[in-house]
Structure 1
Amino acid sequence: MHLAKSGCFAVSLAFLFAAPFAAVAQDLQPLEGDPLRDTRLESCAQTRGFALLRYMTPDGPVVHLSDLCLDEDEGRIVSAETRDGFTLVEKSRNGRAFEVLDSGNDKYSRLRVQLVPDEDAPGCTANGLHSLAYQIPSAKGLTVDGATALYATGYTIPATARKPMRPKTSVVLLSIRDFSQAELPRSLPQQHLPASADLYGMLDFSGDAATFSVIEGGGHTVGEAAGGLSLSVDGTGEVRASGDVTAKSQRLAGHQPHEWVSMRAEIPYLRGHVLGQTGIQLKSYGAVRGTLMDASGQEHAFRASAQLVACFKDPE
């Protein structure tokens, strides 16, 4: 299995806080010559998580990956964008939310972390797993030049498994989002880029390796689709993957000149986890780069993000 080069550079940020909330971070550039960053926390004594970071810029979203560690008692989150001063503001069966109260007039303008029941695979959720949202709706101190805000989505990691409970899945979703020409020559207005592209496939594990094979597009945007990913799982339950996919628009005729009709997409780096002590679920995020062909025959380079979600629970 081929994985893109990792660890092209690593900058130790040292121990950020004293034990028991010790979190040693490395800011990795996993793809040589590519601006993608993946921030790693080597330890987390509190609520551990992983997220896709969407930095909003005038040219579209710029995506990075980051481990997270949330100290709910002290009101601190450590990640690629570390912040202090959070207060518990909501608590119910629907989850918990924390805000920096003096950072804005309401929850939409404040720094905010929210934990809610898992939203990606209802009915197939590891115990203690939550979906996670983290927002910094202003440009103060963001690490990406030109970014005006940050909106991150992810999940908590209550437990991981060395392998899934079943070697095969019934249906797996690969979702491509955040299409952008930020950091690239802009040849299309943002509104002509796809809003999303969903692809369905099968995931087949053998030992600590797996193959994801695309079967079809998910509709709404994509019709025909093909390709796949090669995955590996290490001894801690962390997943790595890379691969290529192709897709065609579900719209067959009547295009405007700048509407996309097909795409080629490389997913050179994807990271995630086999979740739950029994390995009930897989969640992961990654980076996408590729080209769109429009109805006039022109090709346009793009970047995007990927999310791969799988359930290994026996069908009911």
Structure 2
Amino acid sequence: MTPDDATLVVGATGTTGSRTAAQLIGAGRHVKAASRHASAVPGAEPVRFDWYDPASHVEALDGVDRVYLVPPVGDPGPASVMLPFLQQARAAGVHRAVLLSSSAIPEGGPAVGAVHQALPGLFDEWAVLRPSWFMQNFTGTHVHARSIREHGSILTATGSGRVGFVDADDIAAVATRTLIDDPAPNADLILTGPEALSYDDIATIVTEVTGQPVAHHHLTYDQFRDRLTAQVSPEFAAMLAGLDRAIAEGAEDRTTDAVQRLTGRPPRSFREVAEREMARQ
């Protein structure tokens, strides 16, 4: 990396993209903040970027030597737009790519799993970040957060299954290190918080932090899928409900040391994040 090289942050106004851009800027890096409307990000160079508009990709890649990739939201087959872009990026001189995926999606799996599988063949320097569910789902604009604020409830089909919820700031801290540090990880990194919690545990902590009663309501897979179908396509609703069912069966009941290893500090607990962010509401 030279002083003139830029890091392209795709999704720079989103949950992890905005935090990653801010941390890169804080580290003295030149950041091109990519979003559909070229929105201003303090300290970054704004650039318009739309996954579905190849004409926007040329300017976005100009002068860039590494990229942080947030897949297009809600696209069940993002490889069809992401892989041509990544091939173009490599041809344009990008040599490091860091992909945001999910702990629920393995290499070669559905959705962004196909991009994960292709990434090592496209770039010599790479990392795939596979965070567990975001703690900010309960503190930001996610449906769970809105339900907590408006109804004092969380509705899932997760049963008593536990999740290693992770702070979006910790995800961004890992993203920053994987973009800056040498050598590149060239690894698949599952990111979690310090403990696995059930949604009942989350409701209890939010109640204690805010002083407002919050309850976790247990739905069946069918009930949860049908609720989601009113908001998204039936196929996407079935996939999301299936993720809850996987949690109920123990698929996310784990923690890792990846945040500690990559950042040199322990990941933040959900109680810490709730106290930091829910006090502002």
Bin of the TM-score, shorter chain as denominator length: under 0.3
**If each structure's strand is expressed as a fraction of its own residues, which one has the higher value?**
1
TM-score, structure 2 length as denominator? 0.27
TM-score in terms of structure 1 length = 0.25
